[in-house]
Amino acid sequence: MAKRDPQSAFTPPEGAVPGANRGADKHQRILDAAVAVFAEKGFFSARIADIAERADVADGTVYLYFKSKEDILMTAINTAFDAFMSLARTELKKLSSPVDRLRRLAFLHLDALGSNRNLAVVFQMELRQSTRFLSEFSHHHMIEYLGLVRDAITEGQASGTFRREMSDKYAANCFFGALDEMVTSWVLSEHDYHLAHVADGVVDIFLNGMRSDRQTG
């Protein structure tokens, strides 16, 4: 995903007319503010007043756009993920090799969250504080994401690039799990580094395993 200012995860698409829809602009500002506040204070400690202050709007204005704090969180998550999936589908269509598609997806995954630490904290930490939130996200989005991975894997199996006997479902879960753990490690790390730079290393381990070519047992 193209890099962006860390506080502008939900900026309108390029080409939008400034001032054409002030309501949409406020909606966007509230989402950006909410992501920052949730990342700093934690979802359960954050207040609507904190979000309103960060967005520079009245408390009541927040309720014009969202029913509750929970609604803000899920809208923020859904907005970010929908944008990511739209880009991922577009980018992967350009690549014919299943290996290249997996490498590109890994890069997009890590770059999207590595470009916005606040969003990464919300995805990796706050979303998982509630079984209901995580279940809702998994039901609506994880199936779609894992579908992209499984499509690449089954195509690679059909062409003989990947082992046919392995489960594409298990492999897809392992692929996501490895990337997900890299994001969590980055969020918790005291060292600043470019998260997307580790994408190739993760995919290499996923594709080639840990066994050297000379090892037989």
User: What is the residue extent of each domain of the chain?
Assistant: 69-208
Predicted local distance difference test score (pLDDT) of residue 105: 98
Predicted local distance difference test score (pLDDT) of residue 21: 60
DSSP, collapsed to helix, strand or coil, labels residue 156 as helix
Which stretch of 4-8, 45-49, 151-155, 179-183 has the lowest confidence by average pLDDT? 4-8
Predicted local distance difference test score (pLDDT) of residue 30: 96
pTM for this entry: 0.84
Instruction: Extract the tokens encoding 109.
Output: 């995954």
Q: The tokens 């990337």 sit on which residue? A: 179
3-state secondary structure 139-164: HHHHHHHHHHHHHHHHHHHHHCCCCC
27 neighbors 16 (Cβ within 8 angstroms) = no
Q: Please state which CATH class domain 69-208 belongs to.
A: mainly alpha
CB-count exposure of residue 179 (10 Å: 0-12, 13-18, 19+) = buried
Predicted local distance difference test score (pLDDT) of residue 127: 85
Cα(30)–Cα(10) distance, rounded to whole angstroms? Answer: 10
Task: Report the pLDDT averaged over residues 181-193.
Answer: 93
pLDDT reading at 185 higher than 80: yes
Question: With bands split at pLDDT 50, 70 and 90, how would you rate the model's confidence at 132?
Answer: confident
Instruction: Extract the tokens encoding 18.
Output: 């400034």
